[in-house]
Amino acid sequence: MEEGHVSNVMCSYNRVNGIPTCADPDLLKGVIREQWNLDEIKYATTPEDAVTLALKVGPNGNATMAMISIYAGIPSEYITPLQGLQKHISFVTYTIGCPFVNCTNELLDGLATKAATTADVVVLVMGLGQSIEQKDLDRENLILPGYQEKLVKDMANATNGTMILVIMSITGRSPFTWYPKEYSDQVPMTNINLRVNATDNFPGRTYRFYIGKPLYEFGHGLSYLTFSKFVIYAPSTLLVPMKSSLNPSGFPSIYPSKQDPYPNGQAIDVSSVNCTNLQLVLVIGVRNNRPMNGDHVVLIF
């Protein structure tokens, strides 16, 4: 929080010790403002102020609002993809292919493809915005909105040089499995089973059980780099002590007649073990296989 110079925080919707976190003075004032020195929280006191703040952000064109999420604060400035290119390239021609993110018409497609025919490199910035998806607005599918996909194909056919496609969407490592479009057509969303059922032609759910080919796997993250991971050291055995009030079977000693349903140690009641002071030492090696520097997040389960 302090080293990253965070300017905004979002409270969770739960209660801690009976106090809503969004109204906890110890958290909001004591920890966030006094301990973490976060005193740049911005908010609007009236609807008129809220409109003024929104107008200062700028138009949705040229990828400004599309670069921030629904919970983002008011940035001090934007550096759009166009501005970033203009900073490093002496001559840049900018043409709008779609007036809005939903891209409901292709009237400007011809102007964009015409510009692509004479360009050495075409950078096509597509993707989503809060008019397509946000907290209370779900997408109907995972494809690009409106005529965006057609514009991509038309630009690829028109250019004689290199085309770079940038899609503004979810970044970082995916916390879920991205299924192909056919999955939502074949599997009812009311079916919440996880494991594969060949009788019902059900291919399973989540990264653990889905047997089809996902569009993006759980933990996938786009990168210019490739990394290799390997275990340098990991213990072969980890001893987990039982709580003192329990017998070795994992059930309370006051119920001596209750039988362990998993006598071979296949499973154990998590409430019966003492994990308070447990430590697990792992040494994981990560090798960057490309010449450029980069970061990589290792997921351990």
Does residue 116 sit in helix, strand or coil? helix
pLDDT value for 245: 57
Q: How far is CA 263 from CA 85, 211, 247, 251, 289, in A?
A: 65, 31, 13, 12, 46
Distance CA 238, CA 281 (A): 10
Q: How far is CA 216 from CA 174, 194, 222, in A?
A: 8, 18, 10
pLDDT value for 209: 92
Of 234, 252, 232, the C-alpha closest to 244 is: 252
List 231's β-bridge partners, or say none: 284
pTM summary value: 0.47
* Cβ-contact 221, 169 below 8 angstroms: no
pLDDT value for 262: 58
* Cβ-contact 94, 82 below 8 angstroms: yes
pLDDT value for 172: 62
pLDDT value for 105: 82
Per-residue pLDDT of the chain (301 residues; tens, 9 = 90+): 677 777 777 788 788 888 888 888 888 888 888 888 775 555 555 544 433 333 336 223 366 666 666 666 777 777 888 888 888 887 888 888 888 888 888 877 788 888 888 888 888 888 887 788 877 888 777 788 888 889 889 989 988 888 888 887 655 677 788 888 888 788 887 888 899 998 888 899 988 899 999 988 887 876 778 889 999 999 988 888 888 755 554 444 444 445 555 566 667 777 888 888 888 899 999 999 998 888 888 888 8
Of 37, 34, 36, the C-alpha closest to 25 is: 34
3-state DSSP helix/strand/coil % of the chain, to nearest 5: 25, 15, 65
